[in-house]
């Protein structure tokens, strides 16, 4: 089973239970599934894939069938939490946009003939 869920502080539409990957591995384990974290290491550096998928995508297989993957040399275990860089980068981008907005906003407020237009559109 291919599974993906938002991590803490990821944000996004309808993300109401953001949890680290190990949380989900524990939930699935209680239902008889084993986590094989075999995709993320292959796609982690691929910028053409959105960072949240690179961070969040996991494979779960029922414990009775896990030999299908272990015979191919894959190992199971708790997935590691690798998101810090991506969350920081995403928030850095938002901060950069906010700083640009504030700089432009202050410039508009200082130009007399734009000041009235600025006040009209900012409301």
Phi, psi of 31 (to 5 degrees): -100, 5
50-78 b/e (C-beta count within 10 Å ≥ 16 → b): ebbebbbbbbbbeeeebeebeeeeeebee
Residue-by-residue pLDDT tens, the chain, 123 positions: 999 998 887 777 888 888 989 999 999 999 999 999 988 888 888 889 888 888 889 999 999 999 999 998 888 888 877 765 555 555 556 566 666 666 666 665 666 655 555 555 555
Phi, psi of 8 (to 5 degrees): -55, 135
- pLDDT (tens digit per residue) in 67-81: 999 998 888 888 877
With beta carbons less than 8 A apart as the criterion, state whether 76 and 70 touch: yes
- Give the pLDDT score at 24: 95
The neighbour count for residue 1, using CB atoms within 10 Å, is 9
Q: Dihedral (C-alpha) 94, 100, 101, 104: value to the nearest 10 degrees?
A: 180
């Amino acid at each position: 089973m291919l599974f993906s869920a938002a991590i803490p502080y990821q944000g996004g539409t309808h993300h109401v239970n953001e949890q680290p990957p190990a949380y989900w591995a524990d939930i699935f384990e209680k239902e008889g599934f084993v986590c094989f974290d075999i995709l993320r290491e292959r796609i982690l550096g691929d910028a053409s894939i959105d960072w949240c998928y690179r961070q969040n995508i996991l494979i779960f297989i029922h414990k009775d069938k896990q030999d299908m993957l272990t015979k191919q040399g894959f190992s199971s275990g708790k997935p590691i939490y690798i998101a810090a860089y991506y969350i920081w980068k995403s928030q850095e981008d938002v901060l950069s946009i906010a700083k640009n907005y504030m700089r432009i906003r202050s410039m508009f407020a200082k130009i007399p003939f734009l000041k009235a237009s600025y006040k009209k559109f900012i409301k």
